[in-house]
Structure 1
Amino acid sequence: MRPQHLTRLAALLALGLIPCAAQATNGYFSHGYGVKALGQAGVGIAWSQDALAAASNPAGTALVAEQAGQQARLDLGLSWFAPRRSAEIQGNAFGPDASYGGNGRKNFFIPEFGYVRALSPRLSTGLAVYGNGGMNTEYASNPYARFGASGTAGVNLEQLFVAPSIAWKPGADHSLGLAANIAYQRFAAQGLGLFAGFSQAPGQLSDRGTDSSLGLGLRLGWQARLSPELTLGLSWASKVRGRFKDYAGLFADGGRFDVPENYGIGLAWQAGRDWTLGADVQTIRYSRVAAVGHSLARLLQGQPLGAAEGPGFGWRDLTVLKLAVSHQLSRELTLRAGISHARQPVPGGETLFNILAPGVVQDHVSLGASWQLGGGELSGYLAYAPGKTVRGSGSIPAGLPPGGFGGGNAHVRLQETLLGISYGWRL
């Protein structure tokens, strides 16, 4: 494939991915990148298997090029994502107990693209295009109507990453990688007009259509073969700055919405001729992004929405442990599986605002397989995040507006199913 054709393909895929990048498992980040990693709970920091490797660890670009026989590898994939989100309000003075479904849009289709090429035995380059994460809710029956809101309520956040990478092998057993994270974000909110009286910019809080943001960050990575059987990997990604000016009255710091810093460590162990085990520990620093990490309690302390250091969704940093296993059943067929468990990012006292963003699933199980088909490789996976409910604990402020919302609690719930397929070529 000629370079100009590859560039056009990546651009077309990126444009196609923009309206369908809403996904969430670990908070609002994807649980993994690349169909193979998605089939093993996202394990990939030390275990690079396809041309999407740079999304987890850019040092893996060198390993994938090596596996391709110092040639090029191209991967195209598509995932079907079906989140089920809902909320309840109980014990509130402004209305009876009620349940709400946030599934105005039920299905999302998320493409991915990866390309890796060896420039020399020591230097490799690549390009990964993928949905980093997102969140979508759409409540036909507005949960905030009892407080004075009207219309359909919900948000839509989409994050697309385009990540060119380069990896260098200073020695046979080590590789260092660098990727540029070009982050394109889109956001829209509707049905939140009741919060206008609590905002420093009430005209830039809700129903402003879709706004977008473009930012740049870095991901650094290292991989090392500690022995013929054991590989260690480290990965770190910087915060990526973003701002939604049309929602300067909703998000803290005048609409600032950064992609949080994240980092991790991974191991891959060749436990036998046909068996490989892997583990990753990843941390996502949601609390360091004001719009996400600041508590809604700041609103009651006199800080309006959109203000400097203003209120947010109250998310904590998230640390997730991922475990995976693969078995090469035959020369043509490899089976894989994974499980993961994450800390709960949403505290019980923050559920009122998180009706809009119930990124509360914690556990994840997945199965995957790859088939060698002549000059290519077909891979698929099925993943499931069991439903998780976070029950509010004093989450609706007592009293009457402007200081309260009648007390009681909001409870939020999320469940997810994913199914995906990809095809990889050596070029």
Structure 2
Amino acid sequence: MKIKKIVVSLFAVGMMASPLAYATNGMLMEGYGPISTGMGGASMAFDNGTAGMANNPATLGLMADGESRLDLAVGGLHPDIVSRMTGMPNADSGGTAYYMPAAGWVKKQGALTYGVGVFAQGGMGTEYTATDWVSAGAGPSRSEVGIGNLIVPVSYNVTPDFNIGGSLDLVWSGMDLQMAMSAPQMGALAASGNLTASGAGAAGLPFFLGGANNVGYFNFTDGSDFTGEASSTGWAGKLGMTYKVNKQLTVGATYHFKTSLGDMSASGAKMSMIDNGGTMGGPAGAVYTLTGNVSIVNFQFPETYGIGMAVQATDNLMVAVDYKRIGWAGVMKDFHMTFSSTDMGGLNMDMKMPQNWKDQDVFNIGFAYKASPDLTLRAGANLANNPIPDNTVNPLFPAIIKNHYTLGAGYTMGKVSEINASLAYVPEVTVTAPAAAGGYSIDHSQLNWQLMYTHRF
């Protein structure tokens, strides 16, 4: 009965645990849980609490036999994003604070460890006003992509030194989008075969695309940081292992499967054609709005594999080093959106915006120093490449962050309670699109934190 209550409670938390988790390693977090993030996101080969189910599930088997652990956490993500265009006032993103709850419960009985948890996995987004240049006078510009997991992990001690683990993940995703596109942008997509349309309503599209000052505007949003107007569910999973080579050295490895999500869809979406040039037969400035259904086709999160080691350098100092390869190229070739409406005689539009993200190499290094029997101090770094090419970067999707520098601490209060916290400083990254792709620049920095309470029983 106690386990059932815990599972139900964690699922309830999970319904709140998928707000926008801001882009750090691409669209993934730099780490999960403050023990890991305090050490630069390293997590492959040491016990990092119930967050191990989101990192390497085999590490759950490093718990003490007979222990049950409940972790309750909250994280704050504070991005600072500015999009700049020559001759225009800077566009400051208004999305500067996002908060994410998470929770996990794990129990070890003999060689078997099992549990359940909910975590925000990743996402990205921005918010600009209707007067910012990004919006082209069409209306507010906003993007939010969020993904959350309900994770059921299992770990098994094959020998006292060798653990294997895995998890089954129920995944849900959400997206809001308010996006302006110039007619020349949409026309270039049409010329390359990346935008097609059919139905009687498509007859006016060539006239719209022929207006150099015309603007298209896509709008589906619920205005919430915790849900998306377009949504879907699906599955994912992980495998992992740890091996204690000797008293000082433990190695670990994990593989995260690519998600299998359905298309994100929403009804009541709007597409507007703003005819600033009067090329569609009406007065200049006329707005033609269609209401219909939108789908984001095959939007997945990537496979990831990682290896790492933890070295007990002294009785009080542990050093952890990880490497991860995130397969963005396999899931972010393009942003594929369809829109269908019965307005204006019917319109079916299929649009692909090329993204061509590169795979990402992430190096994590972390230190944990036991300053006293109750206090542990942590520090680390997360070093990565920017996966987005300059010619496809977009002010609405600025997942361009490279490096993170982190601090953390843990404090035990008796035998059953513990507090852990982490702080991540993310230095500014600036990218500039080539003139042919818009010529704008984007600055992105962050300051993030996590706080977790642990109860053992």
Structure 2 length normalisation: TM-score? 0.79
Q: 2:265, 2:295 within 8 Å by CA — same for their partners in 1? A: no
Distance 1:249 1:294, change over 3 A: farther
SS in 2 for 1:51: helix
Letter in 1 for 2:147: Q
Is 2:120 the counterpart of 1:108?
A: no
Distance 1:134 1:395, change over 3 A: farther
Q: 1:139, 1:153 within 8 Å by CA — same for their partners in 2? A: yes
CA distance in 1, matches of 2:350, 2:381: 38
Distance 1:245 1:75, change over 3 A: same
State the Cα distance separating 1:208 from its structure 2 match. Answer: 2.4
Letter in 1 for 2:404: H
How many percent of aligned residue pairs carry the same amino acid? Answer: 24
CA distance in 2, matches of 1:17, 1:221: 24
State the Cα distance separating 1:254 from its structure 2 match. Answer: 5.9
Is 2:411 the counterpart of 1:411?
A: no
Letter in 2 for 1:176: I
Q: 2:89, 2:132 within 8 Å by CA — same for their partners in 1? A: no
Letter in 2 for 1:49: N
Aligned to 2:60: 61
Aligned to 1:400: none
State the Cα distance separating 1:86 from its structure 2 match. Answer: 1.6
Higher strand proportion (structure 1 or 2): 2
Q: 2:107, 2:114 within 8 Å by CA — same for their partners in 1? A: yes
CA distance in 2, matches of 1:426, 1:395: 58
CA distance in 1, matches of 2:349, 2:157: 48
Aligned to 2:107: 117
Which of 358, 363, 378 aligns to 1:336? It is 378
State the Cα distance separating 1:312 from its structure 2 match. Answer: 3.0
Distance 1:133 1:205, change over 3 A: farther
Structure 1 length normalisation: TM-score? 0.85
Letter in 2 for 1:116: V
Which of 412, 417, 431 aligns to 1:390? It is 431
CA distance in 2, matches of 1:34, 1:265: 18
State how 1:64-213 maps to structure 2 within 5 Å: 64=63, 66=64, 69-90=65-86, 96-103=87-94, 105-119=95-109, 121-140=110-129, 141-146=131-136, 150-192=138-180, 194=182, 198=189, 199-200=195-196, 206-209=218-221, 210-213=229-232
State the Cα distance separating 1:359 from its structure 2 match. Answer: 1.0
SS in 1 for 2:47: coil
CA distance in 2, matches of 1:412, 1:334: 38
Distance 1:237 1:201, change over 3 A: farther
SS in 1 for 2:8: helix
Aligned to 1:93: none
CA distance in 1, matches of 2:375, 2:335: 49
Gaps of 5+ in 2: 190-194, 202-215, 222-228, 272-293, 337-347
SS in 2 for 1:9: helix
Aligned length: 389
Distance 1:47 1:367, change over 3 A: same
Q: 2:138, 2:217 within 8 Å by CA — same for their partners in 1? A: no
Q: 1:134, 1:158 within 8 Å by CA — same for their partners in 2? A: yes
SS in 1 for 2:11: helix
Which stretch has the larger CA shift, 332-341 or 203-212? 203-212
Which stretch has the larger CA shift, 156-165 or 408-417? 408-417
CA distance in 1, matches of 2:295, 2:220: 18
Letter in 2 for 1:128: G
CA distance in 1, matches of 2:255, 2:197: 35
CA distance in 1, matches of 2:149, 2:405: 25
CA distance in 1, matches of 2:260, 2:453: 33
Distance 1:244 1:253, change over 3 A: closer
Which stretch has the larger CA shift, 1-10 or 331-340? 1-10
State the Cα distance separating 1:417 from its structure 2 match. Answer: 0.7
State the Cα distance separating 1:143 from its structure 2 match. Answer: 3.3
Letter in 2 for 1:56: N
- Residue deviations 1:21-51, cap 9 Å, x none? 4322111100001111111111101122211
CA distance in 2, matches of 1:100, 1:108: 19
State the Cα distance separating 1:52 from its structure 2 match. Answer: 1.3
Letter in 1 for 2:322: D
- Residue deviations 1:36-91, cap 9 Å, x none? 11111111011222111111111111113x2xx4221111111111111121123x
CA distance in 2, matches of 1:24, 1:349: 19
State how 1:140-289 maps to structure 2 within 5 Å: 140=129, 141-146=131-136, 150-192=138-180, 194=182, 198=189, 199-200=195-196, 206-209=218-221, 210-242=229-261, 243-246=263-266, 255-289=297-331
Q: 1:21, 1:160 within 8 Å by CA — same for their partners in 2? A: no
- Residue deviations 1:344-369, cap 9 Å, x none? 11222223xx2111111111011111
CA distance in 2, matches of 1:136, 1:30: 14
Q: 2:40, 2:404 within 8 Å by CA — same for their partners in 1? A: yes
CA distance in 1, matches of 2:116, 2:197: 40
SS in 1 for 2:218: coil
SS in 2 for 1:181: strand
Aligned to 1:316: 358
Determine which structure has more spread, i.e. the larger CA radius of gyration: 2
SS in 2 for 1:48: coil
SS in 2 for 1:53: helix
CA RMSD of aligned residues (A): 2.6
Aligned to 2:343: none
Gaps of 5+ in 1: 91-95, 297-303, 397-407
Aligned to 1:27: 26
CA distance in 1, matches of 2:403, 2:60: 29
- Residue deviations 1:162-188, cap 9 Å, x none? 110001111110011110122110001
Letter in 1 for 2:359: D
Q: 1:346, 1:390 within 8 Å by CA — same for their partners in 2? A: no
Which of 405, 408, 414 aligns to 1:365? It is 405
Distance 1:205 1:139, change over 3 A: closer
Q: 2:378, 2:407 within 8 Å by CA — same for their partners in 1? A: yes
Which stretch has the larger CA shift, 155-164 or 342-351? 342-351
State the Cα distance separating 1:383 from its structure 2 match. Answer: 1.0
Distance 1:331 1:254, change over 3 A: closer
